Amino acid sequence: MFLINEKTCRPRGRPRIRPDSETLRLMVEAAEQEFQANGYAGTSMLDVARHAGVSTKTMYRLISTKAELFREVVSRRIGRFMLAFAAEAHDAAGLRQALVHLLIAYGDLSLSKEAVAIHRLVLAECRRFPELAELFHAEAIRGTGEAMASWLWRHRERGLLRLEDPALAAGMLRGMMAMEPQRAVMLDRRAPPDAEDLAERAGYCADLFLDGCGK
């Protein structure tokens, strides 16, 4: 008489199905690494699918072109920046503290190793692929600029800032915080700043700005 092992006969059931949102996250992370390693022209959708461990059928169902994939890479970074200075969180703080927090978030977005790699990629390949420059400008430059300008406008309306043109001021703030160190990092003259460096620079930039525009 044979004894039946109940465990071996028990049906396993359906395998767990990974949600599309998780699959998309894996694809975007893989794409960012592939773009950094091989450039935009040297990266294929097949490379990304293999790196992410998904089928090409799944890949094209979720994202149909390489340009869309690049947009996802950039927009997800911008999304994290937007969350980092959500208006409700920073309006509760004092004006200087809120501005420092905003500038730290922007510095972290612009000066990280990954952000510099994306910027290099766009500059190197935008002539061959003009859609890269269009996407980067729309998602990264215009998006962050509008968010900062909106923040400045809101504080001007509250009577806390003296500004005629919040959009122009937002551009100056971004340049003051990130332009010089970003150039140095891109030219391999220095490493990306750490959290302490960002906080120190953000505080200095905030004080300069508020000396001129604060009330």
118-to-21, 38, 72, 186, 189 alpha-carbon distances in Å = 23, 12, 12, 11, 18
Domain with CATH 1.10.357.10 in the chain: 66-213
Backbone angles phi, psi at 138, to 5 degrees: -65, -45
* Distant-in-sequence contacts of 186-190, Cβ < 8 A, 24+ apart: 186/116, 186/119, 186/120
Question: What whole-number distance in Å separates Cα of residue 14 and Cα of residue 20?
Answer: 17
Measured from the Cβ of residue 186, the count of other Cβ atoms closer than 10 Å reads 15
Average pLDDT over residues 106-127: 88
Greatest Cα pair distance in the chain: 92
Query: Does pLDDT of 86 surpass 60?
Result: yes
Query: Does pLDDT of 199 surpass 90?
Result: yes
Which pLDDT score is estimated for 213?
75
Question: What whole-number distance in Å separates Cα of residue 188 and Cα of residue 184?
Answer: 6
Class of domain 66-213: mainly alpha
Out of 77-81, 108-112, 171-175, the most confident range is 171-175
Average pLDDT over residues 138-167: 89
Query: Does pLDDT of 89 surpass 70?
Result: no
Domain with CATH 1.10.10.60 in the chain: 19-64
Which pLDDT score is estimated for 17?
73
Query: What would the pLDDT profile of 161-192 be if each residue is shown by its tens digit?
Result: 999 999 999 999 999 999 999 999 988 899 99
Q: In 112-142, which ranges are continuous DSSP H helix?
A: 113-125, 130-136
Average pLDDT over residues 135-150: 87
Which pLDDT score is estimated for 90?
56
Record the pTM: 0.77
Query: What would the pLDDT profile of 11-69 be if each residue is shown by its tens digit?
Result: 454 545 778 888 999 999 999 999 988 988 899 999 999 999 999 999 999 998 898 89
Domain 19-64 has CATH 1.10.10.60: yes
Which pLDDT score is estimated for 170?
94
